Amino acid sequence: MGLFEEIKGKKAKIAVVGLGYVGLPLAISFARQADVVAFDVAKDKVEQYGKGIDVTKEVGDEAVQQTTAMFTSHEEFLREAKFHIVAVPTPINLDKTPDLRPVIGASTTVGRNLTTGSIVVFESTVYPGVTEDICVPILERESGLTCGVDFKVGYSPERINPGDKVHRLETIIKVVSGMDEESLETIAKVYGMIIQAGVFRAESIKVAEAAKVIENSQRDINIAFMNELSIIFNKLGINTHAVLEASGTKWNFLEFSPGLVGGHCIGVDPYYLTYKAEEMGYHSQIILSGREINDDMGKYIAENTIKKMIQANKQIRGAKVAVLGITFKENCPDSRNTKVLDVINALKEYGIEVQVVDPVANAVEVEGAYGIQLCKFEDLTDLDAVVVAVPHDEFAELKVEDLKVLYRNCNVYEGDSLDQVAATLDSEKHVLIDIKGMFAIKAAEAENYLYWRL
């Protein structure tokens, strides 16, 4: 009986290492078909899952409450599994080089608990060669086993899109790879148990690693092009969204839009590829140029906010600005590597008091990572500008006229006559920065806003 048959017959278990936005959906989905050990070193996260709370909001509390997966932070339970899936994050260091500590740590943990006849599949985004050149030696060292003889490895890049309820784990084609034909076939069959869209067998582990890292690099470059266009069109006084709408009528025009590029994938993965390219003696031109543009967008948005405030005769130092949304994308609680932080920090450099509202973000994580205490929307008052950074559904319910009560009327002075006050209030310009274009320009201008968007 092969490993796949043992898993299907529940004679062997699957272990998922890392229970974030990728690992949790994997554990929940596999648990419908097999016995699953769901492991994470973060005890508090495991405790939340044990209480039936989905901290990622990817599968929902009900799915966590009903799953048969065993959540644990005790690594010895990994010894019960024969099919290990490593789904830990792969961030970057401050110098933009790959931070492989999470995947190295996971490899060490799995290696300590690896048994003969097992398969280890990595899902973490890495540059080509990491699985075989870095992870395999760790697995061998920690286990005392020999790869290819006592255990085998594979790679299957994650394609989870956090917050997306349409393109889910089961409905996205899964790329799989193995170190040989036997491991490839087993890995393909195991993932085939849960992937409705089917699996694609890559010809090698390095091909699968490369395929993943260029998916997000391609998207990063296309968004960088849109951001550069928005900078050009802003100087020309042209509505970028209107231009894209017109160009989009051609059948082969690619649908991208300008915006902040953060998160743990698109804003990170390109650096993994360029790092490996540098090792091989090639300096990236297109990829790094795109990264530079996208990394500078937070500062660019802050500068345009300041310009609009000056235009509205607002005093900059000591001004109050509300930023709506801090997560890296809409309707997702993940604030890792969010570029909204760049906007906030740049505004603070001008002596501005910034208040942040985000009903979707994990407030504890935001304060722990960035030292920012989230405010409630109803507590906002006497603002000099509003920056709508993330178009959460909760914010989409707002109308531009609803925001007016949040602003201060700083051009009304003691001693002004009633006529002067009325005239001032009527002519008062409120600064509204709408990064993703959630509001219509005409509606904003009709309400006397100084409105700006990418």
Which spans in 71-198 are helix H?
101-112, 130, 136-143, 181-192
Sheet with 449-452: strands ordered across: 353-357, 320-324, 385-388, 430-434, 449-452
> In a 3-state reduction of DSSP, which class is residue 424?
helix
Q: Are 206 and 224 in contact (CB under 8 A)?
A: no
Q: Which of 296, 294, 301 is nearest to 323 (CA)?
A: 301
Active-site residue (options: 135, 147, 265, 375): 265
Give the whole-angstrom CA distance, residue 332 versus residue 55: 11
Give the whole-angstrom CA distance, residue 357 versus residue 287: 33
Task: Tell me the two tokens of residue 135.
Answer: 């992870």
Query: Catalytic residue at 265?
Result: yes
Give the whole-angstrom CA distance, residue 88 versus residue 20: 8
Give the whole-angstrom CA distance, residue 199 versus residue 159: 12
Q: Which of 67, 17, 54, 266 is nearest to 159 (CA)?
A: 266
User: What is the helix, strand, coil percentage profile of the chain, to 5?
Assistant: 45, 15, 40
Active-site residues, by number, are 265
